[in-house]
Structure formats: structure tokens, C-alpha cells
Structure 1
């Protein structure tokens, strides 16, 4: 079953549509996949396999062509048509490989039990930047690992939405959110902000009754 959820105008920060989808999902494994990605054959089975084989992993993502951390690998392709063959070469040489690393939430898989323990994304980061680092740190604070599957590749355009802000606003948002993230340090787990508690949590019983396997969350104008 596929369900489309259109969010109301008050949903103005990046984490809220994701949190609505998380609340509606009903499966054992939860997938977050941005709309600026192109997946490869077997990507979801590969990520789930790593979770099944490594019980201490709380969240896992793939390697990619474009990301601001060590999950980025060197690629030669310039056309999407060439991406699949090259990514197959890359992942074949890394089969079974994985490492501890914060996962970019452009593409991640985690267990429902992890979500129920950790909660949703932190809304303090507004449109985004550092919300994925925040989530991965919370995963670690709960005794689990954040990891990267080196034998799964997903193409990422990166910052497709952020680039619409313009360089100056984008940099200002980055610096603001960096300060928020660094201010938290190891002071403990994040408590959902009031907007999350007021709008997302009350929706969960209704959304979970949909029993949807795939959720598309969009923002309304």
C-alpha cells in the first residue's frame, strides 16, 4: 500500500514531514529517502541485511557520490545512465564492508524499535543542517551504532532544496545550526520541541491506522 500525506502550512521545517512519515509507517524497518536521490539495484535489501547481521547498529546509510562526510566516494560518471554500472563496480569490491559513521538522513534505514526509543528528528534545526548528526548522536547515546554500508550505493544530488536559499542564507543557516548542535555537546537526549509535541504526536494514532508500507510526505503551499 502507498499513501501520500500532504502536510498543512504550519509544517515549515525540514524535520516535520519526515516525522509525519515516521509516525505513519508500520513496518519493522523504516526507510527515509529524500527526493534528490537515485537508488541502485538491491539497495534496500543491502541496508536491511547489515541491520540484521549487526544487532548493535541503530541506523545505517549507504555510500554516495555527494555528501559532507566520509560516506562520499570518488566517482567518474557524469550521467545518471552511467551511474549504475560504476556503482556496481564500487560496491562489488566492498561487499560486506561497513564502518561506524554518522549517517546522512538523505537515505537511511533503521528499526522501528530504534525510532520508538529515540523519537523523531529534532525540529530546532529549521530547514536543515545538522539534524542528521543530532539524530545519530542520540542513537549512540542510547548504546547503538550509526553506520555506513560500503556495499550499498545511492546517488545524491545534495542540497537540492538548500541551494534555492542562495549562498548567503544557506551559510547563515549552516552557522546557526552548527552552534545549536555544538551547544548540546553530551548534555543528554533531545526532548521534542513544542511544535513537535503539539502537531506530530497527536497525529500518530490516526496515521498508524493507515498501515501504509510506503509513505510520501509533501508540503502544501
Structure 2
């Protein structure tokens, strides 16, 4: 049976990671490799993790490499034929891995695959059942199923989708070797969308399946609305367009983003007395205006 490498990244959230490891212990798939990347956390919780899941690979970094950097480090250490990236703020079911592998085996055209995602605190509510195609002039699309009551409407449904979800995405390592690793200059957010574009460029398709699901504790690491989250979402939305579309499209998007979308965000935050978030929008725009699309300067001072 093919080896599946599960990769998760922990950053100062040992409680969430402990819960994930407990759920992975119940997975029925018999050939599993778990790789845990401790991404510059202030405390080393290896012993705690080891008590729960003795047979796993622990990699600790001195600094926070971001979502892409942490996962890339795990990917480089992975030995599996399948690579399953899983947020540490998720929990899986007994059949999650086996069902995802079965879907991949039944369709060679699939490059990246994500399962149905339900909210952890409201497990009868859907978070993700796929994405609509992206409008590349506005960098906007819709997340399918979000906030719907889960009444089995996605059970046993598998279909192409605009993008996978970074909280849970699986692929063949052979395809990954052709598409390449995640781009680390995103640091946080949009790297999985960019990764999907890489897989599309090698002729692979992006898929969703409702054959299984995971539970997601959304935004455990950065907060539901924080300066960090606001900065990287704003910065990387523009960076994604710069890296994945033509010059003409980038110019068209920039006009919309700089004259409509960003001023609207700034005004909203100011009206809500969140000048700290308004400032992050301005900083994010400024970064894009003065840095190349491949710059490794994040433009944000990490604590």
C-alpha cells in the first residue's frame, strides 16, 4: 500500500496540534507517515507531541518560515507517494486519508484535491465545498457551500473546482515534483492558490470531494481579524495577480484594486475605529508598488 506523508505546521499552538495528533491516531489508513514542522515556536513541545504520536518526524526551525516555508520543509523530508498537507487547527475522521487516496487513484487527471471542510465549533455547517473560478481582473471568487447547513448535499460528490483549500490538500509526489514547491514569498495566505496555478500549468486539474470531511478551527494562529492577517491578505491578493497573469491583466487589476477595493477597505476600517487595520492595507499596497513579485522582503516585522 502506498505511503501517505501527512505534513502539519505548528506555530505556538500546541493545544491545537495535540488535538490533530489525537485524531490522526484514529485514521484507518495503515501506511501513514506524520511529519510535524515546529515553525519557530517559542516553546519546544516535542516531548508532548511524542507522547501522543510516538512514530512521527519532528522538525524544529529557529524562525517562523511561514505557511509555505514550513510545509515546504516538511515536503522535502517526506517519503510518501502521496503528500497530504493538513493545518494543525484541523481534525480528521477515520476514513479521511483512505477516501482521498481512493479519489486520486480513480482519476489520474487530478493534481490537487481537498475534502469537504466543516466548522469545528459548528460541525453541521459547511465551510468549504470548492471555489468558483477566479475573476482575474478583480481577484474575486466565491467559496462554495460556506455557511450552508450540512445535510449531506455534498456526500459522495467529486468535481473540478477553482481552487483547493490550504487547510487540507493532497497530491501525488510525482506531480508535485513537476509543479514545484509553494512560493515562500507569500509567507501567509494565497500560497495555496498560487500552488493550484502551478499544477494547472503542468496540465493537472483541481478537485473537491465530499466523500470525506475534516473539521477546521479557522484562524487559530492569526486571529479572526488581526493586523497580520489584514496585511498579508491585502498584499498577497495583488502579488498573486502579479505572479500569475499577463502584464495587461495586472494593469487592469491594479486600477481596480488601487482605486476601488483598497480605498473601500481603508474607509471601512476607519469607520469601525480600526486604524491599525487601515494602516496595514496601505502598507500592503505600498509593498507591491516598491517590490518585485519575487522579492523575499516580507514588508512586515514578525514578533
| TM-score normalised by length of structure 1 | 0.70
Cα distance between partner residues in 2 of 1:73 and 1:101: 19
Alpha carbon RMSD of aligned pairs, Å? 2.5
Give the match for residue 159 of structure 2. Answer: 98
**Higher relative CO (CA 8 A, sep ≥ 6), structure 1 or 2?**
1
Give the match for residue 207 of structure 2. Answer: 147
Structure 2 residue 35 is the aligned partner of structure 1 residue 9: no
Structure 2 residue 182 is the aligned partner of structure 1 residue 121: yes
Shift of 1:162: 1.8
**Unaligned stretches of 5+ in structure 1?**
77-88, 188-192, 196-220
Shift of 1:101: 3.1
Task: Give the paired residue count.
Answer: 176
Name the larger-Rg structure.
Answer: 2
Confirm or deny: 8 A CA contact 1:64 1:72 kept in the other structure: no
Match of 2:191 among 102, 115, 131: 131
Distance verdict in 2 for CA 1:118–1:112, change over 3 Å: same
Match of 1:74 among 145, 148, 165: 148
Give the match for residue 157 of structure 1. Answer: 217
Give the match for residue 207 of structure 1. Answer: none
Moved over 4 A (4+): none
Shift of 1:71: 6.0
1:29-54: per-residue Cα shift (whole Å, max 9, x none)? 11111111111231111111111111
Give the match for residue 175 of structure 1. Answer: 234
Cα distance between partner residues in 1 of 2:205 and 2:235: 27
Q: Secondary structure at the match of 2:223?
A: helix
Shift of 1:5: 2.6
Match of 1:25 among 78, 94, 108: 78
Confirm or deny: 8 A CA contact 2:156 2:209 kept in the other structure: no
